[in-house]
Amino acid sequence: MKRTLLCIAFLATGIFLPKVNAQTESDSVKELSVKEKKKAELDEREKEYYARVKQNTLDDLKEEKQNIIENEKFELKKIVADIDKKLEKGEINQEKATALKKEAAKRSALNIDNRTAIIDNQIALTERDVAMYSYKPNTGAYVALGIGNVIDDKGSFLLGLDYKGLDKKTKYDKRTYRDVVFKSGFVNAVGDGQTIGDSYKFWRSSGFELGLAFKTRLLKDSNYFRLSYGLSYQISMYSPGKDKYFVNDNGKTIVQQFPYELKNSFLRTENLVVPVHLEFGPSKKKEYKDYFRYDTTTSFKVGLGGYVGVNTGAVQRLQYEIDGKKVVDKNRADYNVNKFVYGLDGYVGFGAISLFARYELNPIFDNSTYKEHAVSFGVRLDL
């Protein structure tokens, strides 16, 4: 009986296995067909994408080539106009004027040939798909680390991070510019018979300021007057006399003798302020094919104004030694520093570098031995 059952089982296996194999092979073929179809679709989409990228690149290159030609012609036109003015004023004769015009035309033609040759080579590389060469002078956005301030006509700026703005049409007349402002110098105090150096060590008391400033041209056809405004963070460090430190004595800030020899001692105050200045001085107008700009990078300037803001904190740092061990105390306490700050500020300089002076109208402390007002002076950089 067992043998009979085994035979039936083997026969059944032999009958059904081919069908099972046939179904498995059929399913595999179908699955492979679906995968190939999806891959073909992806390949087609990828081809379409790279075709669009290539065409966009070629369009950008051709547009850039045309811009080069137009800009060179515009510059040549300005040079010729300047030569004609000199000829009218009698500064040069007709022969000299003709020679200068020929020289300018030759130079412009060479510039066009050399610059467009570069673009033509880039076009040729792109058309041959050489590493999908991509030249997009005014496309996309990026973020990069950096120091300084980079501004173009598309909203780019630099404040630690360089942000490049997305494409947008260049404004014909840009009236507002932005700068990163950095100040560094000395801080001290005057008032109630106290002069600079009486209460705080001159060389050990210093200050810094970092901010973003916007400058807006006030006149329609002149950049002589500009309104400068923005947001800045100020840090001032006051160093009292030898082995002295600040103490809040029942609501009154006083300076006391410290029980140990102090290697370093200062009170750091931090303010967030809004500075506003009337800046004036000459500038150079630069005209281009489809826009113009005023340049102050090589001009004398003066700024007069003030600031208003709030104190964001005060920290006292003491450094000393006990039994040969270095000790550093940082105390963020209430030293009666004025919470509301305001004062006068001015600067004078050339290009990006200026000398500044600042006088704080509010006393440093609400309640202290002397009603002292902070004074600062040093170097200002418009980056």
> How high is the pLDDT of residue 340?
96
Q: Which of the 8 DSSP states describes residue 339?
A: S
Q: Are 141 and 155 in contact (CB under 8 A)?
A: no
3-state secondary structure 148-182: CCCCCCCCCEEECEEEECCCCCCCCECCEEEEEEE
Single-letter code of the amino acid located at 206: S
> How high is the pLDDT of residue 20?
43
Residue closest to 288 by CA, chosen among 67, 64, 133 = 67
Q: 70: which 2 tokens?
A: 């137009």
For residues 221 and 216, give the distance between their C-alpha atoms in angstroms, rounded to a whole number: 13
pLDDT, one tens digit for every residue, the chain (383 residues):
444 444 444 444 444 444 444 445 555 556 667 777 777 777 777 778 778 888 888 888 888 888 888 888 888 888 998 899 888 888 889 998 899 999 999 998 999 999 999 989 988 888 887 655 555 554 455 555 555 554 455 555 555 555 555 556 778 899 999 999 999 999 999 988 888 888 898 888 999 999 999 999 999 999 999 999 999 999 999 999 889 999 998 889 999 999 999 998 999 999 999 999 999 999 998 888 788 899 998 999 999 999 999 999 999 999 999 988 999 989 888 899 999 999 999 999 999 999 999 999 999 999 888 899 999 999 999 98
